[in-house]
A = this chain, B = another copy of it.
Amino acid sequence: MYDFKSIKLDKNQSQHLYIQLYKKIKELILQGHLMEEERLLPVRKMAKTLEVNNVTVVKAYEILEKEGLVYKRIGSGTYIAKELPQELNNEDDISKHQASVKNQLMEQGHVKVEKNMINFASATPSAELFPVEDFKRVLNEVLDRDKGHAFDYQEGKGYYPLRSVLNKYIKHYGIEADTESIQIISGAQQGIDIISKALINYGDYVVIESPSYTGAMAAFHSRGAKIIDIPLQKDGLDLETLEKKIKIYKPRFIYVMPNFQNPTGISYSISKKKEILNICKRHNIYIVEDDYLSDLDFNSNDSTTLKKLDNHEIVIYVKSFSKIFMPGLRLGFLVIPSKLHHNLLMAKHTTDISTSGLLQRAFELYLNKGIWQKHLAYMEEQYKERFLLMEESINQYFPKYVDCQLPLGGVNFWLKLPKGFSSNKLYERAVKENVIFAPGNLFFMGNQDEGYFRLSIASVNPSEIKYGIKLLGNLIGEYIDNKEELRKDITIKPIL
- Chain A residues with a Cβ under 8 A of chain B: 36-37, 82-83, 86, 89, 93-94, 97-98, 100-101, 104-105, 107-110, 124, 126-130, 132, 135-136, 139-140, 143, 147-156, 186-187, 189-190, 193, 197, 201-203, 215, 218-219, 222, 224, 326-330, 342, 345-347, 349-359
Contact = CB atoms under 8 A, between A and B. Distances in A.
A129 B143 contact: no
A327 B83 CA distance: 40
B328 A150 contact: yes
A59 to B, nearest CB: 28
A224 B126 CA distance: 40
Given A140-B136, A352-B330, A104 B156 contact: yes
Nearest to A98: B346
Q: Nearest 3 pairs between A and B by C-beta?
A: A127-B148, A151-B326, A108-B153
A39 B357 CA distance: 52
Contacts of A98: 346
Contacts of A359: 356, 358-359
A101 B156 contact: yes
Given A83-B203, A101-B345, A187 B353 contact: yes
Given A327-B153, A355-B330, A189 B132 contact: no
A156 B189 CA distance: 13
A201 B86 contact: yes
B132 A143 contact: yes
Given A89-B201, A224-B202, A328 B352 contact: no
Contacts of A101: 156, 345-346, 349
B153 A350 contact: no
Given A130-B148, A327-B153, A347 B37 contact: no
Contact of A189 (B126, B151, B353): B353
Given A104-B156, A201-B89, A215-B349, A147 B127 contact: yes
Contacts of A342: 94
A219 B353 CA distance: 11
Contacts of A86: 201
A346 B97 CA distance: 6
Contacts of A148: 126-130, 132, 326
Contacts of A190: 351-352
Contact of A108 (B189, B197, B353): B353
B329 A358 contact: yes
A352 B127 contact: no
A107 B187 CA distance: 24
A286 to B, nearest CB: 16
28 contacts: A82-B82, A83-B203, A93-B346, A97-B350, A100-B346, A104-B156, A104-B349, A108-B353, A108-B354, A109-B153, A124-B152, A127-B151, A130-B148, A132-B151, A139-B139, A148-B326, A151-B326, A152-B327, A152-B328, A154-B328, A186-B186, A187-B352, A189-B349, A193-B350, A215-B350, A329-B356, A352-B352, A358-B359
A155 B100 contact: no
A308 to B, nearest CB: 27
A151 B362 CA distance: 13
B149 A127 contact: yes
A156 B400 CA distance: 39
A350 B189 contact: yes
